[in-house]
Amino acid sequence: MIRSCVWPSWRPEHVLFEDEDLFAVHKPPGVPSQAAQPDRPDDLVTRLKLFLMERDGLAREPYLGIHQRLDRDTSGVIVFTKRKSANASLAEQFERREIDKRYVAAVRGLPSHARETVLVDHLRRVEDHVEVVRGVRALGGRGGIQRAVTRLRVRARTDDRAIVDLVLETGRMHQARVQLAHVGAPVAGDPIYGGAPAPRLMLHAASIAFLHPRTGKRVVIADRDTSALEAWVARGDLGARIYDDDAALDAAMALAVERRWGLGRSDGKTTAFRLINEDGDALPGLAVDVYGEHLVAQIYASEIWNDHPARRDRVLDRLHALGFRGVYLKIRPKQANVLVDTRREDIAPASPVRGEAAPEIVTIHEEGTPFCARLSDGLSTGIFLDQRQNRRLLRSLAKGARVANVFSYTCAFSVVAALGGASRTVSVDAAVVALLRGRENFAAAGVDLDGGNASLHTFIAEDAFSWLSRVHAKGDAFDLVVLDPPSYSSTKKRRFVAESDYGELVALAVRVLAPGGKIIACCNHRGVSRTKFRRMVHAGVRMAGRELLQQKDLPDGQDFPPPLGKEPFMKSVLVTVR
């Protein structure tokens, strides 16, 4: 099976130490300590238990005692106990701070005079991050405030970048990250505390030393590979030069693969998702999606690729080597509003550029729901994978609702609404072919469109703006409207530019909304910020003369990480109108 070879439970070479009492591994960056994927637990402990069961042929989950954790994107050594009898001693050593924990970090901005120093701060947790609290003595140290102590020694410097050895004398959440940021030298690649651009969080747990719980002898477990950190300090962020460097490219791909383990191993529930999301995975100008046993690689036409023909081949070879059956290639035009024939052989070759061809129609699954995809039919495959969370939301809201899916494309939203118990769905799109594909998706999902259902689920090939106006004039109403327009659209009647016209579109949609109705509104334009988008949506509701009860930001998928410190490309909100 391809998926368990791309996403093995654990790699044997990542086991650092093992005896009857202890089990220590190298945690690659990207592996969470706590499950992050709803499809399947993908945390370190779940994976290690699976690995031990497979390796040792166990019928039941083995015991693993947890004594420490590492942040998802921190790499390095982590120790577990294999028997309960080993817990007391280890817990006591942690409690008494007798465990020697050493880290290595790559940072930018460390004052040039700093060589060796002790960082002492008081920290307080605020939601998902940690703050340094000043003037603690006056506060009397109350309110969840904890003292943190980190010893720092500079190992090497290049320009304003440095690699530092750290000894953590306390073990607070995000301790090293916050304390380094507080002295103006955040860990590179740190999205929360202002790290410099880097392909990952440049923090590594390099060793742990303690007394063996049974023998009492001192044990030192080291995880010495800090080459990624050294490379960053020596050369800085590679940006597009990552495609000229085999080791860096492999590391970035391996990290992307680790981050999608939960989706990759979802036992067939979700078989299509994003594997590489451009800068969010430190691979600029490249987006790669998994469709069952195949990959679709999308290259964004730019100087990253144009002047470097070897880069594309290197990427495609390595993608194929991950273990998929074949790789399709799509070259995305620079600007989405430039119309090209999307079936041109040079921008969307009909045959895979590596490996074997897929069937003409590939049935993929998303959280158990089948959809039809075509990998060799132009630039688009028939499904937008970045809408997974929104489809889940719509399904959960759909029971008994009248749902309008405006700009429906292949009707994926309508299908999940039908499965969620919508009393009626209307799919509106200007493209007749898209609606035919939509019927195909209904059929794949087992929703009958004939007989009694024929009037429940309807398909309307029409300009969305005209349709909304017409429905309003008729006095028809919907409980839920999905609005997912392209960034640019022009028909004989109208030109729509999301950046300036989104508010008017919302106003049209609000006018067909029943009291208390909701809109899921999406905007995939990179030039529109979340703030601007929210403002346009709000203005649209007002234009329609209705009261906005709530506008809620919707989360994006784990497989679409935004670039460091930036917003995701796809912004969506759930709007409730009185």
Residues marked active site are found at 71
- Interatomic CA distance for residues 39 and 366, integer angstroms: 10
Query: What is the footprint of ligand SAH within residues 446-485 (CB under 6 A)?
Result: 463-464, 484
For residue 123, give every residue at least 6 positions away whose Cβ sits within 8 Å of its Cβ, in sequence order, or none.
130, 131, 132, 133, 145, 146, 147, 148, 172, 173, 174, 175, 178
- For residue 504, the minimal CB distance to ligand SAH (Å) is 13
Does position 425 interact with ligand SAH (CB under 6 A)? The reply is no
Per DSSP, 343 falls in state T
Position 431 contacts ligand SAH (CB under 6 A): yes
Which CB contacts under 8 angstroms, 24+ apart, belong to 490-494?
Answer: 491/430, 491/463, 493/463, 493/465, 493/466, 494/463, 494/465
Check binding of 489 to ligand SAH (CB under 6 A). Answer: yes
DSSP state of 14: G
The residue whose two tokens read 């004039």 is 473
Residue 409 engages ligand SAH in binding (rule: CB under 6 A): yes
Rounded to a whole number of angstroms, the minimum distance from the CB of residue 419 to ligand SAH is 15
Nearer to ligand SAH, 132 or 379 (CB): 379
Residue at 219: amino acid letter: V
Q: Does 434 bind ligand SAH (CB under 6 A)?
A: yes
**Which DSSP string do the residues of 267-310 spell out, in sequence order?**
TTS--EEEEEEGGGGT-TTEEEEEETTEEEEEEE-SHHHHT-HH
Closest approach, Cβ 386 to ligand SAH, in A, equals 9
**Would you say 212 or 472 has its CB closer to ligand SAH?**
472
Stretch of 193-201, 252-260, 426-434, 546-554 contacting ligand SAH, by CB under 6 A: 426-434
Angle made by CA atoms 115, 202, 297, in degrees to the nearest 5: 155
Q: Which residues contact 86 (CB under 8 A, 6 or more apart)?
A: 21, 22, 65, 213, 214
DSSP state of 333: -
Out of 46, 387, 425, 427, the only residue in the binding site for ligand SAH (CB under 6 A) is 387
Whole-angstrom distance, CA of residue 185 vs CA of residue 109 = 5
Report the half-sphere exposure of 105 (CA within 13 A, side-chain side): 33
Choose the binding region for ligand SAH from 6-14, 28-36, 194-202, 403-411 (rule: CB under 6 A): 403-411
Find, among 202, 225, 222, 227, the residue nearest to 100 by Cα: 222
- Residue 429 interacting with ligand SAH (CB under 6 A): yes
Q: Which stretch binds ligand SAH (CB under 6 A): 106-114, 225-233, 317-325, 410-418?
A: 410-418
Of the pair 266, 524, the CB lying nearest ligand SAH is at 524
Output the smallest distance, CB 496 to ligand SAH, in A.
6
Say whether residue 443 binds ligand SAH (CB under 6 A): no
Q: For ligand SAH, give the closer residue by CB, 184 or 486.
A: 486
Q: How many residues bind ligand SAH (CB under 6 A)?
A: 18
**Could you list the residues that contact ligand SAH (CB under 6 A)?**
384, 387, 407-410, 412-413, 429-431, 434, 463-464, 484, 486, 489, 491
